[in-house]
Amino acid sequence: QRALITGVTSYIGAHIAQQLLEKGWYVRGTVRTQAKGQWLHDTFKAGDRFETVEVKDVQKKELFTEAVKGVDYVFHVASPFFLTSTDPYEDLINPAINGTLSLVSAVHEHGQGVKRVVVTSSVAAVAQPHPEDPNYVYTEADWNDAAMQIVEKEGKNVNGGLAYMASKNEAERAAWRFVEQNKAKFELAVINPVLVFGPAIHHVAKAEDLNTSVAFLYMFISGAKTTLNPQAPFNNYVDVRDVAHAHIQAAVLPEAAGERFILSAGGFSDTLIASIIKKRLPQYADKLPKEGWNEKDLKPKTEADNSKSRKVLGIDYIPLEKSVVDTIESIKQFI
């Protein structure tokens, strides 16, 4: 089987590529930076089963014309994920929406062999706040359309987190709309992960370049975090290896076509993560914040329903302890 992965140099994209290569697939990945692509060639050592092609700007549909030819499946992973931005449209919303639209329209026009496109969306496209019900459990029926409404109201001054949520919600909406309106021949499936932990295998030159979700864990061992925050809404996690596996299952299983899947292993809290580090990686105990430890947070809430992903995709979720330990083992060189 042959796959195209956009953003193969990303934290999640590199894991999808690795798992596909282990299964004997041919993988083509789009890259913006050659050095990051070379790192993956050196890591995978997959010979001619792994190739990279340059797509500098995902918003330019014509750059995907050749990339989508001759593959059976496409994984659209590339999309900006950071939470601080001075221009939410320029930095987050436009690349997310236009990147998705240019990819699906290139597949529609030139990817005759593509059976299915799997889009990496996010729980950001699901979890519209429900302040009236603190015990609300999100399912795949939920959408976060409110995020874009807030962005439109607040304009450039909107907070980066909200702009990111809007970017993911609107990009996913655009993908479903495109398939419906154009009666696309390829099928669509969507993955909606919560915050992703687990080992980083992609190219990271320095700590400042760590992707957003791994950087969150890095703060616990770098000394940058001064206090453990109380349990907050939507502190749910999933391991990157489960995320990659779910993408592949969503591509090949007939019953996954036309579906979206929340991926969540359960809740986490700062106190729980710090406790795991203290117990399993005691060499970093003195870097952990002294403030904010709270017994109450040791049993964090699960806020998303993962039953569909378990039932349809067969995901057997990696526990938090393994996920946290393996993440930190993979980034300890930056300390």
Instruction: Using CB under 6 A, list all residues that contact ligand NDP.
Output: 7, 9-13, 32-33, 36, 58, 77-81, 95, 99, 120, 122, 168, 193, 195-196, 211, 213
Q: Least distance from C-beta 168 to ligand NDP, angstroms?
A: 6
Nearer to ligand NDP, 207 or 278 (CB): 207
Instruction: For 291-305, give one letter per residue: b (16+ CB within 10 A) or e.
Output: eebeeebeebbebbb
Q: Least distance from C-beta 7 to ligand NDP, angstroms?
A: 3
Q: Least distance from C-beta 176 to ligand NDP, angstroms?
A: 16
Nearer to ligand NDP, 296 or 329 (CB): 329
How far apart are alpha carbons 37 and 17 in whole angstroms? 12
Nearer to ligand NDP, 211 or 229 (CB): 211
User: Beta strands 195-197 and 236-239: pairing type?
Assistant: parallel
Residue with tokens 């597949």: 107
Q: Least distance from C-beta 140 to ligand NDP, angstroms?
A: 15
How far apart are alpha carbons 171 and 166 in whole angstroms? 8
Nearer to ligand NDP, 96 or 281 (CB): 96
Nearer to ligand NDP, 51 or 294 (CB): 51
Please list, in sequence order, all residues whose beta carbon lies within 8 angstroms of the beta carbon of residue 252, skipping any fewer than 6 positions away: 73
Residue with tokens 């946290």: 324
Nearer to ligand NDP, 10 or 306 (CB): 10
Q: Least distance from C-beta 77 to ligand NDP, angstroms?
A: 5
Q: Least distance from C-beta 327 to ligand NDP, angstroms?
A: 11
- With DSSP H G I counted as helix, E B as strand and the rest as coil, what are the percentages for the chain, rounded to 5? 50, 15, 35
Q: Least distance from C-beta 86 to ligand NDP, angstroms?
A: 14
Nearer to ligand NDP, 129 or 285 (CB): 129
How far apart are alpha carbons 3 and 247 in whole angstroms? 12
The helix/strand/coil state of 197 is: strand
SS3 annotation, 243-297: HHHHHHHHHHCHHHCCCEEEECCEECCHHHHHHHHHHHCHHHHHHCCCECCCHHH
Please list, in sequence order, all residues whose beta carbon lies within 8 angstroms of the beta carbon of residue 180, skipping any fewer than 6 positions away: none
